[in-house]
């Protein structure tokens, strides 16, 4: 979907009285959707999942982008404190059970947000993974929410063309060689032959945090 189509769909949701929100990791490629939303409606809530494991640069960058774009930013915190996020041996869960770690720090808090809204504007792209390739532009989510995926058909080339056109900022870790940036313990710099998300949860049988698997209906 291109800008005018996205704008028309958001205006349609608004005319229907739908409560909308979006979530963002504030990576460089995430900024295109945020910038588009700022051009359409700066009042749409933007939730940043403040897992407690982000790179400091990511937290600061989220605030910088929100201020620059005039976004309605909220930090979404986990419901379970970190001292309770340990396995039987006392290790933090990201070392032994990353799926449950993601559930507590991302999926569970986002599930609570879904109960308050009708439309989740989600910036996934089909070219990012097989899971995302199977998504539709509109897809059902728990609690009678509709996920709206306006960037689904965008390529990474189109993303960076838009970034250049509007001179959008870059995540500070881009310059250090990071491609897909999540929580610090589960993110590494990719090798030259890796795809965009392959350096996330490197060495684990895991490609998604749960937001795009547990919080979607096929």
Residues 6-65 pLDDT 10s = 999 999 999 999 999 999 999 999 999 999 999 999 999 999 999 999 999 999 999 999
So what's the pLDDT on residue 193? 74
Write down the pTM of the prediction: 0.94
When pLDDT is averaged across residues 73-86 and rounded to a whole number, the result is 96
Q: Which CATH number, 1.10.10.60, 3.40.50.620, 3.40.50.300, 3.30.565.10, labels domain 3-186? A: 3.40.50.620
Using CA atoms, how far apart are residues 44 and 72, in angstroms rounded to an integer? Answer: 6
Q: Is the pLDDT of residue 199 over 80?
A: no
Whether 143 contacts 168, CB under 8 Å: no
When pLDDT is averaged across residues 183-197 and rounded to a whole number, the result is 82
Structure tokens at 216: 């979607």
Whether 110 contacts 75, CB under 8 Å: no
Tracing tokens 């949860």 back to the chain, one arrives at 201
Using CA atoms, how far apart are residues 138 and 129, in angstroms rounded to an integer? Answer: 18
* Residues forming the active site: 209
Using CA atoms, how far apart are residues 27 and 200, in angstroms rounded to an integer? Answer: 13
Neighbours of 44 (CB within 10 A): 20
Using CA atoms, how far apart are residues 36 and 70, in angstroms rounded to an integer? Answer: 12
Q: Is the pLDDT of residue 196 over 70?
A: no
Residues 127-178 pLDDT 10s = 988 899 999 999 999 999 999 999 999 999 999 999 999 999 999 999 998 9
Whether 145 contacts 117, CB under 8 Å: yes
Contacts of 65 (CB under 8 A, 6+ apart): 26, 31, 34, 71, 169
Contacts of 85 (CB under 8 A, 6+ apart): 78, 92, 93, 101, 104, 105
Neighbours of 45 (CB within 10 A): 18
Tracing tokens 């028309």 back to the chain, one arrives at 8
Contacts of 77 (CB under 8 A, 6+ apart): 50, 52, 109
φ/ψ (deg, to 5) at 46: -115, 120
Whether 132 contacts 212, CB under 8 Å: yes
User: What ranges do the domains of the chain cover?
Assistant: 3-186
């Amino acid at each position: 979907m291109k800008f005018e189509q996205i704008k028309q769909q958001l205006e349609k949701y608004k005319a229907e009285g739908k409560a909308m929100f979006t979530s963002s990791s504030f990576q460089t490629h995430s900024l295109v959707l945020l910038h588009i939303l700022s051009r359409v409606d700066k009042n749409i809530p933007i939730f940043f999942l403040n897992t407690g494991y982000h790179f400091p640069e990511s937290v600061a960058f989220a605030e910088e982008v929100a201020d620059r774009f005039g976004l309605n930013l909220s930090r979404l915190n986990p419901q379970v404190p970190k001292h309770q996020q340990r396995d039987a041996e006392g290790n933090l869960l990201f070392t032994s059970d990353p799926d449950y770690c993601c559930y507590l720090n991302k999926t569970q808090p986002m599930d609570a947000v879904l109960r308050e809204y009708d439309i989740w504007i989600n910036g996934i792209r089909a070219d990012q993974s097989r899971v995302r390739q199977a998504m539709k532009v509109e897809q059902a989510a728990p609690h009678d929410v509709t996920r709206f995926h306006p960037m689904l058909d965008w390529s990474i080339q189109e993303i960076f063309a838009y970034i250049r056109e509007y001179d959008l900022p870059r995540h500070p870790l881009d310059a250090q060689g990071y491609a897909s940036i999540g929580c610090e313990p589960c993110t590494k710099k990719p090798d030259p032959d890796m795809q965009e998300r392959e350096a996330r949860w490197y060495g684990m049988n895991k490609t998604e945090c749960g937001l795009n698997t547990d919080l979607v209906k096929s």
